[in-house]
Amino acid sequence: MAYADQYIDKLRKSGLRPTKQRIKICEVLFDAEKTFHFTIKELVKIIENQANIKVSLATVYNTVHAFMKKGYLKEIPLNASQSYYDTNVTHHHHFFDEEENKLIDIHQDDVDEVNIKRTIPGKKIKSVEVIAKIVSDNQSQK
Amino acid sequence: MAYADQYIDKLRKSGLRPTKQRIKICEVLFDAEKTFHFTIKELVKIIENQANIKVSLATVYNTVHAFMKKGYLKEIPLNASQSYYDTNVTHHHHFFDEEENKLIDIHQDDVDEVNIKRTIPGKKIKSVEVIAKIVSDNQSQK
DNA sequence: TAATACATTATATTAATTCTAAACTGTTGA
DNA sequence: TCAACAGTTTAGAATTAATATAATGTATTA
Ligand SMILES: [Mn+2]
Ligand SMILES: [Mn+2]
Ligand SMILES: [Zn+2]
Ligand SMILES: [Zn+2]
């Protein structure tokens, strides 16, 4: 609860009322040591485990969408049937481990600037994301 | 119907029985001048329009999955609520037009090799895909 | 052509997400 | 301070992509 005030400020500045549900979700998402990736289902589970309050599924969806709109969360394009979200909102890329269904960050510095030698008339590039799918390296089978 | 024989061969070689539904779907997907991207919903609509036969939704799903397994189609990772498929199965990248919800191919030659300076122990990279989101360029507002 | 394995279909089911509308709460200004 | 209001939460319903089911139909093979 130590960081609650900071989240109250953050929410107020965004024009979002600091309700106890939103503060709790902030704690779960932004208190963490490291940024992380999550699905809605996973987020609900984390809240259930570490929260003293109950937050409805609808509120979790509402809040995640509100935070995305404010730029506090990013949605990660994956061909899954569910959305993945990222608390790391800096520009970066991803490995996607197809066996464990887990995203792993690749810092921008670890990928040479992606140079696209093609343009679409009347359009500009808003973002460029690289997704590298990875699987177990079983070349060790001599 | 001219290419039907070719598809019959293709299907037979894949161990798929050449049914009239599958041949029709082949025609829709592979007769086209150019490769293209589609959702299941769109594919169903195309079939409805140009086919003399009815193909059930279940068969469309089954067939698309069978073709993916055989490498005749690729699934494109997008943060949409539905899957996009690609009849271009060569290695290439995409623009995604967020305003028109359309994918545009970027040939491999038009993107410098993506060099990822990071590895995950025990894992190897299976594929690397770039998605560049594009929006209208309204800088012309002087 | 009969037997069989494979395929199609209508329909039911699942599951992520969104919607609804009633109850609740944070904010504001008198 | 507190009533009024706008914004928020909630349970549950609705929506929708995708998958499963199981009965019927068809391509293949001998
Ligand atoms: Mn969304
Ligand atoms: Mn699929
Ligand atoms: Zn990330
Ligand atoms: Zn493509």
pLDDT tens digit sequence for B89-110: 999 999 999 888 889 999 999 9
- Taking CA atoms, A65 is separated from A6, A68, A72, B68, B133, in Å, by 20, 5, 10, 33, 19
Work out the pLDDT band at A4, boundaries 50, 70, 90: confident
| Residue A4: alpha-carbon gap to chain centroid | 21
Protein contacts of strand D with Cβ less than 7 Å away:
A 16-17, 19, 21-22, 53-59, 62-63, 81; B 12, 17-20, 39-41, 57-58, 61, 65, 81-83
The answer to whether residue A139 scores a pLDDT higher than 60 is yes
Mean pLDDT for A10-30 is 96
Average per-residue pLDDT for chain B: 91
Segment among A101-110, A120-129, B132-141 with least mean pLDDT: B132-141
Tell me, what's the pLDDT at A142?
41
**Which chain A residues are within 8 Å of B83, Cβ to Cβ?**
79
Structural contact between residues A76 and B131, judged by C-beta atoms closer than 8 angstroms: no
- Element of type H or E holding B21: helix B20-30
Q: Which residue has the tokens 């939704």?
A: B57
Residue A74 CA to ligand 3 center (angstroms) comes to 8
Task: Judge: B120–A129 Cβ closer than 8 Å, yes or no.
Answer: no
Structural contact between residues A39 and A76, judged by C-beta atoms closer than 8 angstroms: no
Domain boundaries, chain B: 4-76, 90-141
Rounded Cα distance, A101 and A39, in Å = 11
Tell me, what's the pLDDT at B2?
61
Task: Judge: A124–B118 Cβ closer than 8 Å, yes or no.
Answer: no
- Taking CA atoms, B106 is separated from B7, B91, B103, B110, in Å, by 28, 10, 10, 6
Residues of chain B with pLDDT under 50: 1, 142
Write down the CATH number for the domain with range B4-76: 1.10.10.10
Task: Judge: B131–A126 Cβ closer than 8 Å, yes or no.
Answer: no
- Element of type H or E holding B10: helix B4-13
Rounded Cα distance, A87 and A92, in Å = 12
The answer to whether residue A94 scores a pLDDT higher than 60 is yes
Work out the pLDDT band at A1, boundaries 50, 70, 90: very low
Residue A83 CA to ligand 1 center (angstroms) comes to 7
